[in-house]
Amino acid sequence: MSYFWPLLFTILMTAGQFLFKKAALASQADSFILSIMNVWMFFAIIFYAVATLLWVWILKHLPLSAAYPFVALAFILVPIGSVYFFDEILSMRYMLGCLLIVGGIILSVT
C-alpha cells in the first residue's frame, strides 16, 4: 500500500481542524450549542467523518505502527496552516519541535 491514503487522511484531519477553528470564530450566539451550529461546523464534521472512515480502512491495510506517524504529521500541518489562515505566530522553539517530529516520521516510515 502506498502512502497516498495515509497522507490523504492527514490532509482531511488538518482541513477539519481549520474548519473547526472557523466554526469557533464564526460563532455569535450566547448559547454554546447554537454558536457551533454553522456551515463551518457542518463541513468540519463531514471532513472528520470521512477521515475516520478512511482511517479504519487504512488500519485494515497497514500496521498501526506504519500508519500512526501520519497522525503526527497533523501536529505540524495544523500550526503551520494556522500561520497562513489565522495569522497566528509560531515560535522558533515550536518550529524546532516540528523538525524533530518530521525527523521521527522519516525514521519510522523508511
Per-residue pLDDT tens, the chain, 110 aa: give them.
Answer: 688 999 999 999 999 999 999 988 887 766 666 667 788 999 999 999 999 999 999 999 999 988 888 898 998 999 999 999 999 999 999 889 989 988 988 888 77
- DSSP state letters, the chain: --SHHHHHHHHHHHHHHHHHHHHHHH---SSHHHHT-SHHHHHHHHHHHHHHHHHHHHHHHS-HHHHTHHHHHHHHHHHHHHHHHH-----HHHHHHHHHHHHHHHHHH-
pLDDT at 93: 92
CA distance 66 to 85: 30
pLDDT at 19: 95
pLDDT at 49: 97
pLDDT at 110: 73
